[in-house]
Amino acid sequence: MSSIPIVRTARKEDCKEIRRLIQELADYENFPQAPKLKVQDLERDGFESSIPMFKCFVAEIPNNEDKLCGFAMYSPSYSSWVGKTIQLEDLYVSPEFRGTGLGKRLFSLVTKEAYEGNYSRVEFTVFAWNKATDFYTHLGAINTTNSEDRHVWRLYRSGIEKLVEDSNLN
């Protein structure tokens, strides 16, 4: 690593590199087959939609404008208890740039947006085995699995389809 990455708002032309980093993250988390998104999906959903489905900050390697080394992808959400929230979907830094403060810079931009937009909280999930739990704890985040006994539940596409079919809603 020769120079400090530039952190900025993502642009449509970053989608190929963002997709590469999503795969890098999935490989790191031992879910290499999990990402189903294509570059075109990211372009459409984040940059071509009248209401973008996500926002993203990226870390770009100086003098190599096509190469990204980190990203933070997030979207607005809403809580019936506290109002506006931000859902941080992914924050990832390539291994050779970890420990440089880059993750904190990316996370700080998301929290700055939450602060300026008067959001009530930033929510995200982290695998229990991931060393990032220490990083987030150090920054003041609270593991609600421990403090509130809340667990993340998901209904995936196959379950959605089955429920709609079983309920005769199609």
Q: Per-residue confidence of the chain (170 residues) as pLDDT tens digits? A: 457 899 999 999 999 999 999 999 999 999 999 999 999 999 999 999 999 999 999 999 988 767 999 999 999 999 999 999 999 999 999 999 999 999 999 999 999 999 999 999 999 999 999 999 999 999 999 999 988 888 888 888 899 899 998 887 76
pLDDT at 153: 84
Q: Which of 74, 92, 119, 136 is catalytic?
A: 136
Cα gap 9→2, rounded to integer Å: 22
pLDDT at 30: 95
The answer to whether 136 is a known catalytic residue is: yes
Cα distances (angstroms) measured from residue 64 to each of 10, 43, 99, 109: 15, 21, 21, 22
Helices (H), the chain: 15-28, 39-43, 102-116, 132-138, 144-147, 157-166
Helices (H), 36-131: 39-43, 102-116
Please name each of the domains of the chain with its CATH number: 6-166 (3.40.630.30)
* Token pair belonging to 113: 């947006």
Cα distances (angstroms) measured from residue 6 to each of 97, 112, 135, 156: 12, 17, 21, 36
Q: What are phi and psi of 113, to 5 degrees?
A: -65, -40
Radius of gyration of the chain (CA): 17
pTM of the model: 0.91
pLDDT at 132: 92
